């Protein structure tokens, strides 16, 4: 398969690349690295990356920004970060990608454990992840030509604990390589409208 992988330079993205690259052709994309430049918060950037990538069999997104802050300090602008980037960026990947992905192809998006197991300072992530789950559930029944869409919802990643451990006390970390298996299940399997939880 020819797969567009967004966020390939990140911790999860590198693990997904290592899992899929032996079997498939990967085109990597990111804001500042990869084969193509793609900024999730910029619809024009997504459109241009699709045009450059050409026909695809799958799109995998392992990227997305949200704001972590105490609720009392959150502003509408803080929520807009996650809404524009992680939520609408991934929704736009599906909306714009429908005409670029071949019959029976797939989209795999990234949510996270905070969709059902919230933490302090995580309201933006919880809101966005929950919305992604609902979008995938609904979009799956309308996609045409056998196209599929799923979301992977990993727990806190072991390799990211240096940055995120204070937020996730008591959570069991997930190795990035184990999370990558859920992306492979989505891309290489047949299921659609699923939230693949990795905990």
List pLDDT tens digits, range 120-177.
999 999 999 999 999 999 999 999 999 999 999 999 999 999 988 989 999 999 999 9
**Residue that is written with structure tokens 């950037």 in the block:** 45
Q: What is the pTM of this model?
A: 0.97
**Residue that is written with structure tokens 């192809």 in the block:** 105
Q: Give the angle subtended at the CA of 195 by the CAs of 59 and 13, to the nearest 5°.
A: 40
**How many Cβ atoms from other residues are within 10 Å of residue 145's Cβ?**
11
**Residue that is written with structure tokens 């990597």 in the block:** 28
In percent, the amount of the chain with pLDDT more than 70 equals: 100
State the residue range of the domain holding 68: 2-198
**How many Cβ atoms from other residues are within 10 Å of residue 166's Cβ?**
9
Q: Which CATH number belongs to the domain containing residue 166 in this structure?
A: 3.40.50.720
**Residue that is written with structure tokens 């939230």 in the block:** 195
Please give the mean pLDDT across all residues of the chain.
Answer: 97
Residues in the chain: 199
For the record, the structure tokens of 89 come out as 């960026």
Could you list the pLDDT tens digit for every one of the 199 residues in the chain?
999 999 999 999 999 999 999 999 999 999 999 999 999 999 999 999 999 999 999 999 999 999 999 999 999 999 999 999 999 999 999 999 999 999 999 999 999 999 999 999 999 999 999 999 999 999 999 999 999 999 999 999 999 999 889 899 999 999 999 999 999 999 999 999 999 999 8
CB 109 within 8 A of CB 151: yes
CB 77 within 8 A of CB 69: no
Number of domains in the chain: 1
List pLDDT tens digits, range 163-175.
889 899 999 999 9
Q: Determine the Cα–Cα distance for residues 69 and 121; give it in Å rounded to an integer.
A: 5
Q: Strand, helix or coil at 6? A: strand
């Amino acid at each position: 398969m020819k797969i567009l992988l967004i966020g390939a330079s990140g911790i999860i993205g590198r693990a997904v690349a290592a899992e899929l690259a032996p079997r498939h052709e990967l085109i990597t994309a990111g804001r500042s690295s990869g084969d193509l430049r793609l900024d999730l918060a910029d619809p024009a950037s997504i459109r241009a990356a699709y045009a450059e990538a050409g026909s695809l069999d799958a799109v995998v997104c392992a990227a997305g920004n949200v704001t972590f802050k105490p609720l009392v300090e959150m502003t509408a602008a803080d929520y807009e970060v996650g809404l524009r980037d992680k939520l609408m960026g991934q929704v736009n990947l599906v909306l714009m990608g429908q005409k670029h992905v071949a019959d029976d192809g797939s989209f795999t998006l990234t949510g996270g454990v905070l969709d059902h197991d919230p933490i302090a300072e995580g309201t933006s992530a919880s809101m966005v992840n929950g919305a992604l789950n609902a979008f995938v559930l609904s979009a799956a029944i309308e996609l045409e030509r056998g196209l599929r869409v799923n979301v992977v919802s990993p727990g806190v990643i072991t390799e990211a604990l240096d940055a995120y451990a204070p937020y996730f006390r008591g959570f069991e970390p997930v190795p990035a390589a184990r999370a990558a298996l859920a992306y492979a299940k989505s891309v290489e399997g047949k299921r659609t409208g699923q939230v693949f939880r990795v905990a």
